[in-house]
């Protein structure tokens, strides 16, 4: 990690020395530069809120979609497979545009860009969450289900008290990685006018005509944000392994 950050810092310094780049528009040492920096960073809270809200909703939907796959009923299994395959086949950008422009026409309900972005991200991510839950639950040995059945527990009680507490240890690392994926994909909601990091960068480019500097700063914003989250995800994974070994 330290070597990577050192190389990254060197590359940024090298780029800053070139005449093609004029970093005065983002310099904290002048009024305009500081104002531009604050404007760009205002999109950070929006990006994080959309990502966190979408991942929570997608986890709930994904879990509900995964449950039918646990039954031996072919029809229920077909519903699970159909949902996962159809949703995964739709590009996220297309889904965002359809939810924002198409869904209000069908439903007659006007949706704000913010709500549309969360709906599209949640639906798209829920298919991946469903597969994570299905794989995590199926990783638990069949004997655990049989043990719960011998105690007279219903299916839902077996799932809640016996299976999920064990499966969650296998699921959590994958959920952390998917949060990073959602965080990156959230940049696509800027196309419908949501003021996230990417949208703020595009708006600033219109007024400054300096796309290279601003997009470079945008890359660094996402890079630092994702590196921080990745650090905590990996740390959490190591803790889970230590707890399981103990």
More confident residue, 18 or 112: 112
* d(C-alpha 51, C-alpha 43), whole Å: 12
Considering the domain boundaries, does residue 14 fall inside one? no
Q: For residue 46, give both structure tokens.
A: 């929006």
- Domain count for the chain, please give it: 1
Considering the domain boundaries, does residue 7 fall inside one? no
Least confident interval from 1-15, 99-113, 161-175: 1-15
| pTM of this structure | 0.86
Containing structural domain, residue 82 = 19-245
Instruction: Give the CATH number, domain containing residue 209.
Output: 1.10.3720.10
1 band by pLDDT with thresholds 50, 70 and 90: low
Considering the domain boundaries, does residue 13 fall inside one? no
Tens-place pLDDT, residues 43-71: 999 999 999 999 999 999 999 999 988 88
- Residue 108 — left, alpha, or beta (φ > 0 → left; ψ -120 to 50 → alpha)? left
Least confident interval from 34-38, 121-125, 148-152: 148-152
Considering the domain boundaries, does residue 173 fall inside one? yes
- Residues 212-238, mean pLDDT to the nearest whole number: 91
């Amino acid at each position: 990690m330290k070597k990577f950050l050192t190389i990254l810092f060197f590359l940024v310094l090298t780029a800053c020395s070139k005449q093609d780049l004029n970093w005065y528009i983002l310099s904290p040492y002048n009024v305009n530069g500081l104002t531009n920096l604050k404007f760009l960073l205002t999109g950070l809270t929006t990006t994080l809120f959309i990502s966190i809200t979408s991942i929570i909703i997608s986890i709930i939907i994904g879990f509900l979609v995964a449950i039918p796959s646990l039954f031996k009923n072919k029809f229920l299994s077909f519903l699970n497979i159909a949902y996962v395959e159809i949703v995964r086949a739709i590009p996220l950008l297309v889904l965002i545009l359809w939810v924002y422009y198409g869904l209000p026409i069908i439903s007659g309900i006007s949706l704000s860009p913010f709500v549309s972005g969360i709906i599209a991200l949640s639906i798209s991510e829920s298919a991946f969450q469903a597969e994570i839950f299905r794989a995590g639950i199926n990783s638990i040995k069949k004997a655990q289900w049989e043990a719960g059945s011998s105690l007279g527990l219903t299916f839902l009680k077996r799932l809640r008290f016996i299976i999920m507490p064990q499966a969650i240890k296998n699921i959590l690392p994958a959920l952390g990685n998917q949060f990073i994926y959602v965080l990156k994909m959230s940049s696509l909601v800027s196309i419908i006018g949501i003021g996230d990091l990417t949208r703020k960068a595009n708006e600033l480019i219109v007024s400054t005509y300096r796309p290279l500097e601003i997009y470079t700063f945008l890359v660094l914003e996402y890079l630092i944000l994702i590196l921080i989250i990745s650090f905590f995800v990996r740390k959490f994974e190591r803790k889970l392994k230590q707890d399981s070994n103990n």
